Amino acid sequence: MTLARCKRCEQTFCLAPMVADESAPASVCHYHPGQYRRWWSCCREMSHGARGCREGVHVEDVAASAMLDSIAEKLQAQREQERAPKGDVVIFEGPEGELTMARFENHAEVEMLARECEEEEAAASTGSAPPAGLASAESSSGEANEAAVAGDGGDAMETVLVPYLVGPFDSFASICMREQMVAEELMRVNGLAIRHVRPGTTVLVWGLRSKGQQQVELNRQLVAQFRRLTKTSAGEARYYLEENGYQIEAALTQRRDDLAWETEPSTPEALRLALTPESASDSQTCTMQPKAGGGADLFASLLKCAQSFGRYVQ
C-alpha cells in the first residue's frame, strides 16, 4: 500500500487497486475546478475548505509521492534499527539491594576516542615526543606569536579586529579616542565614506595589536601632545621627537633652547664693521684733520669723513 497526493483535491489517497464500488469515498475526488479569491468562482462557496463541487478520479502528484516514499523508507530504516539486537545487558546491584539494568552499546566514535586517550597517556608516561603534526603546529603557532610580538609585518597575524556596538551617545570621534585609532584607519577598516556612525550599528575596532603597532600609535600620540604644547606643525614636532628618541621632555628642552638662541641679542653687524682697523684709521684721520686749521682743510676733512662713512655703509 502506497500513499500518494492528489493535485486537484490536495488530499492523500491509497494507490491500491480500485474496488468494484466506484462510489466509495476512497476512489472519488471532490475538487473545485474554479479559483478562490473571496469565494470559489465555480460554486460561490465562501469557505476555502468547502467540499469540492465536482467529482472525478484522483490525479497523482509525482513530486509529493516521491517525498512520501522517501519518508516511508526512512521510517522503515529507523524501525529496523530499533528492532536490531542491542549490546549485552548489564545488571547492577545497588548498596540497598536494588537492581538496575543497563544495556552496553559499542560505538565506533567512542572506541576511537578511547584509543586516542590511551595513546596519549602512554606517550605521557614514557616521555616520548608528541606527534609530528602536533609538534609542527605548535612550532608554527610559536613563530607566529613571536612575529606578532616583534611587529615585523610578516605573514603573522599582528592585529585582531573585534566588533563594537555603537551606543546612543557614541560618536565617530569618541570611538576613535576610546579605541586609540586614527580617523582614516577607522574609516578604512569599516569601509566608511564619511566620518559618521549611526547608533545601533556595529563597527570593527582593534582588539589586539603587536608591539610594533603599539609603538607607532604611541609615537603618534607623542607628536599630537608636542604640537598641543608648543603650537608647532606636525613636521617640526616629528623632527624634535625623532632627534631625541621620542623623549618628550628632551624634545621640549631642545625646543626651548632653540627659541632662546633665536631671541637672544646678538652683536650688530655695523658695530663689528666699525671695530675693524680700516674704519678705526679713517675715523682717527677725520678727528685729527680739523686741528690743522683753515676752512679748506676743514672742508677736506669733512669730505674724507663723508667718504669713509660711505665706505662704512657699503
Does residue 106 surpass a pLDDT of 60? no
CB 86 within 8 A of CB 103: yes
- Span of 68-77, 119-128, 183-192, 207-216 with lowest mean pLDDT: 119-128
Q: What is the pLDDT of residue 104?
A: 54
Taking only Cα atoms into account, the Rg of the chain, rounded to an integer number of angstroms, comes to: 50
Q: What are the angstrom distances between the C-alpha of 300 and each of 168, 286, 289?
A: 92, 9, 8
Distance from the first to the final alpha carbon of the chain: 127
Q: pLDDT at residue 56 above 50?
A: yes
- Structure confidence at residue 253 (pLDDT): 92
62 pLDDT band, cuts 50/70/90, is: confident
Cα distances from 23 to residues 9, 244, 278, in angstroms, run 16, 105, 145
Q: Whose CA is closest to 27, among 42, 38, 15?
A: 15
pLDDT at 89: 63
Report phi then psi at 9, rounded to 5. -95, -5
| pLDDT score recorded for residue 65 | 80
Rounded CA gap, 253 and 206, in Å? 35
Bigger pLDDT: 96 vs 78: 78
100 or 102, higher pLDDT: 100
Give the torsion sign (CA, 194, 199, 202, 204).
positive
Provide the 3-class DSSP secondary structure of residue 92: strand
pLDDT reading at 178 higher than 70: yes
Per the model's pLDDT, the better-predicted residue between 232 and 160 turns out to be 232
The pLDDT of residue 113 is 63
Name the pTM for this structure. 0.31
| pLDDT tops 50 at residue 12 | yes
Contact 241, 219 (CB under 8 A): yes
Contact yes or no for 226/237 (Cβ under 8 A)? yes
| Mean pLDDT confidence for 194-212 | 83
Instruction: Considering only residues 104 and 304, tell me which one the structure prediction assigns the higher pLDDT.
Output: 304
Cα gap 235→229, rounded to integer Å: 15
Collapsing DSSP states into helix, strand and coil, what is residue 62? helix
Q: What is the pLDDT of residue 10?
A: 76
Is residue 311 over pLDDT 70?
A: no
Most confident range (mean pLDDT) of 28-32, 106-110, 143-147 is 28-32
Distances, alpha carbon 169 to alpha carbons 123, 127, 175, 187, in Å: 57, 58, 10, 19
| For the chain, domain boundaries | 3-81, 269-308
Contact 101, 90 (CB under 8 A): yes
Confidence of residue 158 (pLDDT cuts 50, 70, 90): low
What is the residue-averaged pLDDT of the chain? 72
CB of 222 closer than 8 Å to CB of 247: no
Name the residue with higher pLDDT: 281 or 262: 262
Using the predicted structure, report yes or no on whether residue 243 has a pLDDT greater than 60: yes
Which of residues 257 and 270 earns the better pLDDT score? 257
Residue with more model confidence, 284 or 240 = 240
